[in-house]
Amino acid sequence: MARVVALGIANHDHRMWVRHFPPHAPRTRAIDYLEDLGGPAAVAARAVARLGGHTVFVGRRGDDDAGRRLESWFAGDGVDTRWFRATPGARTPVSIVLISPDGERHIFHYPGEVLAEEAEWTADDLLVGAGAVLVDLRWPAAATRLAREARDRRIPVVVDMDKDVPEAWTLAGLSTHTIADGFMAEATGGIAPLLARIHDLGAWGAVTVGRDGVWYRGGHVPAFAVTVRDSTGAGDVFHGAFALALAESRGEDDAMIFASAAAALRCATGAVPYRRDVERFLEDRHATRSADHHTG
């Protein structure tokens, strides 16, 4: 079983589906509600576990009810949380996520308080047997340390780049693969300049752009067409699936298709998919394309 180490933020999400956004009145009734695991690296870690990998999550939480809920959700998916540490007196990150009828999410984020900054681990304990490492930008000191240690051991490092800050570029320079999003591309002059800058740092780069698919220096992978229920965490699922594919020694082209299918299912259902669901989804799409080609 391929092993992926994911490091970053774990977030307690309160997701609400609404009929109108922005609201038309001071009070707006939600039509559905869900408490769920959130945060880029945390959702990616859950994706790895559900897609058939062994996941280790490295992160920080408060010693509070929200933090304990996160711990229980990870445990339910078999994620190794020995490095998911509670900080006494700290408050766990929490988000309110409003989901409009078109499936787009609007996130109101509280980043938590007094979370520990130190990174307590030894590389041999954490990285032994790892096939890939994935980091987000929410704990930069620890992410930089882990990325450097993984590169020293020739382990692929995937960086989830969603903010144009100096720490992001430091991590991109330590990565083997940096995957940014459309907002990052807008902030840095467009997809092509962003990919060029990532390439100049020595990493393979890609940019996920929702319904427009994934762009990389070699071309473009179209998104799978689905009816979107909830786009929350779709990019996080993509990153987790991509990292798992690398850990399984699959190439980038195959990894992008696998990850795109997993992200599409997240959008369609609002849940992190399991391996069997992704494989069935890809088989169905392949059969449809083959039938269309034969008919043509």
**228 pLDDT above the threshold of 80:** yes
Residue 288's pLDDT band (cuts 50, 70, 90)? low
Q: Quote the CA–CA distance of 143 and 275 in Å, as a whole number.
A: 27
Q: Which pLDDT value is given to residue 66? A: 97
Q: Which pLDDT value is given to residue 181? A: 97
Q: For 271-284, write each residue's pLDDT tens digit.
A: 999 999 999 999 99
The model's pTM: 0.94
- Comparing 16-30, 149-163, 229-243, 282-296, the range with the smallest average pLDDT is 282-296
- Cα angle for residues 194, 145, 75 (degrees, 5° grid): 95
**296 pLDDT above the threshold of 60:** no
Q: How many beta carbons lie within 10 A of that of residue 116, not counting itself?
A: 15
Taking the CA atoms of the chain, what radius of gyration do you get in angstroms?
19
Query: How much is the average pLDDT of 8-25?
Result: 93
Query: How much is the average pLDDT of 188-195?
Result: 97
The rounded mean pLDDT for the chain is: 94
How many residues would you count in the chain? 296
Q: Which pLDDT value is given to residue 235? A: 97
Which structural domains are found in the chain, ordered by start?
3-21+30-289 (3.40.1190.20)
Residue 11's pLDDT band (cuts 50, 70, 90)? very high
**174 pLDDT above the threshold of 80:** yes
Q: Which pLDDT value is given to residue 292? A: 46
**289 pLDDT above the threshold of 70:** no
Three-state SS string across 158-200, please? EEEECCCCHHHHHHHHHCCEEEEEHHHHHHCCCHHHHHHHHHH
**290 pLDDT above the threshold of 80:** no
Residue 34 CA: distances (Å) to CA of 13, 44, 229, 253: 8, 19, 13, 34
H or E, element range at 49: helix 40-50
Q: For 73-125, write each residue's pLDDT tens digit.
A: 999 999 999 999 999 999 999 999 999 999 999 999 999 999 988 887 877 88
Q: How many beta carbons lie within 10 A of that of residue 38, not counting itself?
A: 25
Whether the bond into 111 is cis, omega within 30 of 0: no
% of the chain beyond a pLDDT of 70: 97
Closest CA to 6 of 148, 159, 121, 119: 159
Please answer whether residues 170 and 144 qualify as being in contact, where contact means their C-beta atoms are separated by less than 8 angstroms: yes
